[in-house]
Amino acid sequence: MISFEDVQAAAARIKGAVLRSPFIRADGLSRLTGAEVFVKYDHLQATGAFKERGAANRIALLSPEEKSRGVVAMSAGNHAQAVARHAALAGIKATIVMPQHTPATKVTRTASWGAKVVLHGEMLAEAAAEARRLEKEEGLFFIHPYDDPAVMAGQGTMALEMFEDVPDLDALIVATGGGGLIAGSAVVARHLRPACKVYGAEVEHYAAFAQALAGEPIKVGGPTIAEGIAVRDIGQRPLEILKALDVPILVVSEHAVESAIATLVESAKQVAEGAGAAGLAALLSFPEHFRGKKVGISICGANIDPRILANTLMRNLLRDGRLLRLVLEMPDRPGMLAEIASRIGRLGGNILEVAHHRLFSSPSVQDAQLEIMIEARDAAHGEAIETSLAEAFVLRRV
């Protein structure tokens, strides 16, 4: 167990090296969820994620001999950037091992801090094995992303700041990957406000802590937008803390994380990566736990690939019914396109894309097929447009 005093010491040690990020009430999210929601904007750190806290504390505690050897770390991205940055600030060489399919944004930004980046393995566990090999062969000091007391204490400084700003929080929801952040946060909450309930948030394909706490074998894997918390080998020190402090884990779906990313863009005007939006995803997925309560969440990371962000926002518009993709069967005669466009326009829909097929897609030579994408104000508006088109044409959604 780390202690509250360990977190306090870490806060003093890293002061000035990391940003004391804002923690403010989010009116839009509060109205949406029925809770009084406060958001910690820790994605405003120089590397775009909270991981700077633990890395700064761990590196500050290195001995001169350890610094001279250089450091090595494994990470899906945010710990990598944090170690790279604070190693550079301390004049220490750094080697970072990342899974092969880490988003390009995180790879390039890690390298930009001067670290040597090694891409190895499909999962974080394989990257960890390679990092351990380099530790032994090259004599580097290994900085674990979560299963290290100094890292855990550093991560806990985020929750310390949250309680300093809003002392009477009823609940805290923490994105949970390897466990460093939630372990440090739980220790702080138990000391400063025992009545505050701390929840972890995991994504369904990587619910390792939920399984471990339930006494089940850990079975994880599969694609996830929350690669920052896609961890198989969770920290044993964090696990013991979560057991001792009885911290429950909320498991959310991929769609919930995607919706949370979009909600942060629209309601809070903030960009988050999948892991960074996991806390909000849990709040949106389990509103009964938090309605009427004062709840703290964090945007703990914002290093999302622009293409992934764009696709996520478009997918969310489709799910919300604000984008319609329809295929219409229509008579192949003059004026039909104008009639369809006029019908949509009269209802206030906006046509984004049109594809007109005659030769191979239509069931009859007398017909044509129209694929059309329409923007609507909301789901009800989209349904009205679809109903109007269905009165005159055979159509289906795609």
Average pLDDT per consecutive 10 residues, the chain (398 residues; last block may be shorter): 96 97 97 97 96 97 96 90 96 95 84 94 88 96 96 98 98 97 98 98 98 96 92 95 98 97 95 97 97 98 93 93 92 88 94 78 70 94 94 86
- The range of the structural domain enclosing residue 384 comes to 321-397
Say if residues 2 and 241 touch (Cβ distance below 8 Å).
yes
Q: What pLDDT, on a 0 to 100 scale, did the predictor assign at position 360? A: 54
Q: What pLDDT, on a 0 to 100 scale, did the predictor assign at position 357? A: 73
168 and 274 assigned to the same domain: yes
360 and 215 assigned to the same domain: no
308 and 331 assigned to the same domain: no
Q: Is residue 5 part of a domain?
A: no
Query: Residue 175 half-sphere exposure, CB side, CA atoms within 13 Å?
Result: 33
Q: What pLDDT, on a 0 to 100 scale, did the predictor assign at position 122? A: 87
Residue 93 sits in a domain whose CATH number is: 3.40.50.1100
Query: Residue 315 half-sphere exposure, CB side, CA atoms within 13 Å?
Result: 16
Sheet with strand 350-357: strands edge to edge: 350-357, 367-375, 323-331, 394-397
Pick left, alpha or beta for residue 77 (phi over 0 → left; psi -120 to 50 → alpha; otherwise beta): left
Q: Is residue 257 part of a domain?
A: yes
Q: Which of 116, 125, 69, 75 is nearest to 92 (CA)?
A: 69
250 and 180 assigned to the same domain: yes
Q: At what angle do helices 149-165 and 52-60 cross, to 10 degrees?
A: 130
What total of structural domains would you count in the chain? 3
Residue 388 sits in a domain whose CATH number is: 3.30.70.260
pTM (two decimals): 0.90
Q: Is residue 24 part of a domain?
A: yes
DSSP 271-316: ---TGGGHHHHHHHH-GGGTTTSEEEEE--B----HHHHHHHHHHH
Q: What pLDDT, on a 0 to 100 scale, did the predictor assign at position 68? A: 96
Q: Is residue 26 part of a domain?
A: yes
Q: What pLDDT, on a 0 to 100 scale, did the predictor assign at position 359? A: 55
Q: What pLDDT, on a 0 to 100 scale, did the predictor assign at position 363? A: 60
